[in-house]
Structure 1
Amino acid sequence: MTHDASARSVDDEDDFEEFTFRARLQSDSDNAGAWTVVVWPGSYELLGSRMPVKVAGTVDDMPVSTSVLPFGDGAHMLPLRADVRRRLAARGTHLGDEVAVRLHRR
């Protein structure tokens, strides 16, 4: 599994911290029933946590509200629910394709 995302933190005038990055849709394993995830390398430094962190935002402009989960090597993974995967697939976006991610803590 490759980790090919970079992230930047954007602070606006209201001290609302938003993280934006681009990454590829990946499977968390080769097993049947594997999750589709977006891996966020370096998230530990930005979030200051190696624990699950509740987030909300968008993946390719589709709303998401979940927790990013520790993935190892200072990364977190953002699991995508079935409804989000279906909507991405309807747009022609599948495993291996790059998506735009915008997240903030909730």
Structure 2
Amino acid sequence: MSEGDDASEELPAEFAFAAPLRTDSDNEGAWTVVVWPGSYELLGSRMPVKVAGSVDGVAVSTSVLPFGDGAHVLPLRAEVRRRLAALGIRLGDEVTVRLRRR
């Protein structure tokens, strides 16, 4: 499969994985993300991919972005971060992510 191919017909309906919340850098204003290890092999793409699903039950609808090492990152918007914080989830905590292509 070549880069950028749409392999959605061959993909599972839903992907699930667990990973810690982290920032994408040490700089002020860094994004809060979840790194999806091995996502390139699962998605068949090193391009952004539109997804919807949940992070520990909190709904997300965004794009996973290529991270450069065979992984994608799931950036978390402020509203998602606030909802996770209300559940007691902080940076470094492991979350369960469930995603599907949209």
- When normalised by structure 2's length, the TM-score is 0.87
Structure 2 residue 26 is matched with structure 1 residue 30: yes
Distance 2:94 2:23 in 1: 13
Residues 48 and 16 of structure 1, relative CA distance in 2, 3 Å threshold: closer
- When normalised by structure 1's length, the TM-score is 0.84
Give the unaligned 5+ runs of structure 2.
1-10
The match for 1:81 is: 77
> What per-residue deviation string (whole Å, max 9, x for no partner) do you get for residues 36-59 of structure 1?
000001000000000000000000
* SS of the residue 1:72 aligns to: coil
The match for 1:55 is: 51
> What per-residue deviation string (whole Å, max 9, x for no partner) do you get for residues 3-40 of structure 1?
xxxxxxxxxxxx86100000000000000100000000
Give the unaligned 5+ runs of structure 1.
1-14
Q: What is the letter of the counterpart of residue 68 of structure 2? A: G
> What per-residue deviation string (whole Å, max 9, x for no partner) do you get for residues 60-95 of structure 1?
011100000000210000000000001111111000
Tell me which protein shows more strand as a share of its residues: 1
Sequence identity (%): 78
What is the total number of aligned residue pairs between the two structures? 92
